[in-house]
Amino acid sequence: MAGISAYGAGGSSSVDQLVYQFIQQERRPINTLENDKSELRARLKIFTDLRSKLTTLQDRVKDYGSATELPALAALRASVSDESIMNAEVTTGASAGVTTVKTNRLATRDMAVSSKINNLDATTLAEQFDGTTQKIKVKVGGASEFQVVEIDFTDPAETNKDVMLRVRDTLNSAGIEITASIIKDSSTSSRLTVTSNETGFENKLVFKDKNGSSLLEELGFHAGDNTRRSTDGDTGGFVTKTASQLDASLVVNGIAVTSSSNTITDVIEGLSFDLLAEQDAEAGAITINVEQDSDTVKKEVEDFLKDYNEIIDYMNMQTSVDTTTFVRGPLAGDFTFINLRLNLRNAIVSPVDSAPSGSAFLLSELGISSDRSGKLSIKDSSKFNDALEENPQALMDMFTGENGIADRVENVLDRFVETGGLVDSSKKAVDRKIKNIDSRIDRYEGQLVMREAQLRRQFTDLQRTLAALQSQQYMMSQFSNSMAAQGF
């Protein structure tokens, strides 16, 4: 008798296998949707990467018109004839030319020095002021009010050195722009110094004993009226005899100048210089020469072209169609982004009609040209260098003038990178498609859960039927064998 196939009748694992195979077949629409979603996520990354590249180029051209810093395309450099006397750098508003500077005196910090104090004097300051609170009035420069510093004396056993240490620490912790220090000037004596933290007359020290106190006087500062600005041997007082001599003194282009700081930033527009040393009276003036920094300008143009070329490379890759395999880039056929490449190129290579007479109107006049892929580079360095040397302003006019390259590039890119612009809109459209796919997948998944339960019931019933048939087959086989044994 023909046997009945037992496939699928071996238990629950067989049912699981059958259900799995059927469900995998019915999951094909979901798999297709998942692949679609992966492609859309890749498209989102393309938009994110593209926005980053566009923003980099836009930020660069915005800096060309910045009023807060020296534009890179107008780079100037300053050279100093004697860098041991001063150094200099160019800032916003500079222009090429020569400046002469004679440094007569450097700005200094105001400093007061106490008398020599015996560290272990038999008659100590602690004994003299025991049980009192000594008060010192301190201010720096033109501060409207004195700050009062108090020193308590409660231990007559303190040495003079102990007292000086407490005075130093109290002054340093008072929040005043001064620094107090102790200088050990011999094996048995020390001196207390008080120094303004900043240089110049506007930061001069003003301090005195408050009414009823005499600690400063006993220390030998002799600062009661703040006019005795002298030191002589072991006598205390101010190091600089005349307060006005705290300022730097220099002659700039023949004009006498004073400054509270050795960093001069506001004497000549666009030029900052640091005074490092005084010059002898008979020494000649130092020369500061401000000139075009061609190397920096060229590097900036190369960086601009590099940022542009990265965008062109990226757009070529994303919008292309392989002529052999016909594989399409993710943005192939998307005219919004195809036009971005074209408009950006036109913004850079089109003539700048607003450039003044005598300036270049095309990048090609500066030795800049493109290759077959549309990328730009300085192909003729000699032509570029000659153009900068002959008319350094021409490059600035081409880039930063009205409707110049910088303006045009920024206008093209702004439509794409601004909040709510074309890149944002494209990303939102993709996000909506992904959400729609997720909703469809959720519906399919719900249907598959029900389908799986249905298949499981059907295969379980089939399994029971097969088991019953197998049992009947076995009984019939046994009956047939028995009859044969009896000769029937």
Whether 444 is in a domain gets the answer: yes
- Asked if the model's pLDDT at residue 292 lies above 50, the reply is yes
How many residues are listed for the chain in this entry? 488
Amino acid 480: pLDDT: 75
What is the C-alpha to C-alpha distance for residues 285 and 99, in angstroms, rounded to an integer?
10
Are 140 and 205 spatial neighbours (Cβ–Cβ below 8 Å)?
yes
- Under DSSP, the state recorded for 187 is S
Supply 173's token pair. Answer: 């912790």
Q: Are residues 208 and 317 located together in one domain of the fold? A: no
Whether 488 is in a domain gets the answer: no
Are 251 and 99 spatial neighbours (Cβ–Cβ below 8 Å)?
no
Q: Are residues 304 and 453 located together in one domain of the fold? A: yes
Which among 258, 292, 326 is the end of a domain?
Answer: 292
List helix spans (H) across 65-98. Answer: none
- Asked if the model's pLDDT at residue 127 lies above 70, the reply is yes
- Asked if the model's pLDDT at residue 415 lies above 60, the reply is yes
Band (11; pLDDT cuts 50, 70, 90): very low
Among 40-54, 66-80, 233-247, 444-458, the minimum mean pLDDT is found in 66-80
- Under DSSP, the state recorded for 356 is P
Q: Are residues 347 and 429 located together in one domain of the fold? A: yes
Among 132-146, 235-249, 354-368, the minimum mean pLDDT is found in 354-368
Q: Are residues 308 and 267 located together in one domain of the fold? A: no
What is the C-alpha to C-alpha distance for residues 300 and 452, in angstroms, rounded to an integer?
65
Q: Which residues, at least 6 apart from 400, have a Cβ–Cβ distance to it below 8 Å?
A: 64, 65, 71, 73, 406
SS3 376: strand
Amino acid 454: pLDDT: 80
How many domains is the chain partitioned into structurally?
3
Whether 472 is in a domain gets the answer: no
Which among 261, 292, 323 is the end of a domain?
Answer: 292
**Can you spell out the DSSP letters for 24-60?**
HHHTHHHHHHHHHHHHHHHHHHHHHHHHHHHHHHHHH
CATH number of the domain at 164, please. 2.60.40
Q: What is the mean pLDDT of residues 218-242?
A: 67
- Asked if the model's pLDDT at residue 152 lies above 90, the reply is yes
| Averaged confidence pLDDT in the chain | 86
Q: Are residues 173 and 99 located together in one domain of the fold? A: no
Q: Are residues 301 and 351 located together in one domain of the fold? A: yes
Reduced 3-state DSSP string for 275-336:
ECCCCCCCCCCEEEEEEECHHHHHHHHHHHHHHHHHHHHHHHHHHCECCCCCCECCCCCCHH
Q: Are residues 279 and 146 located together in one domain of the fold? A: no
Whether 475 is in a domain gets the answer: no
Whether 484 is in a domain gets the answer: no
What is the C-alpha to C-alpha distance for residues 183 and 212, in angstroms, rounded to an integer?
28
Q: Are residues 269 and 134 located together in one domain of the fold? A: no
Q: Are residues 222 and 324 located together in one domain of the fold? A: no
What is the C-alpha to C-alpha distance for residues 445 and 25, in angstroms, rounded to an integer?
13
Whether 417 is in a domain gets the answer: yes
pLDDT in tens, 173-187: 999 999 999 999 888
Whether 225 is in a domain gets the answer: yes
Amino acid 6: pLDDT: 40
Whether 476 is in a domain gets the answer: no
Q: Are residues 98 and 115 located together in one domain of the fold? A: no
Band (224; pLDDT cuts 50, 70, 90): very low
Among 43-52, 227-236, 437-446, the minimum mean pLDDT is found in 227-236
Q: Which domain holds residue 371?
A: 6-75+293-466
Q: Are residues 313 and 228 located together in one domain of the fold? A: no
Band (233; pLDDT cuts 50, 70, 90): low
Q: Are residues 202 and 323 located together in one domain of the fold? A: no
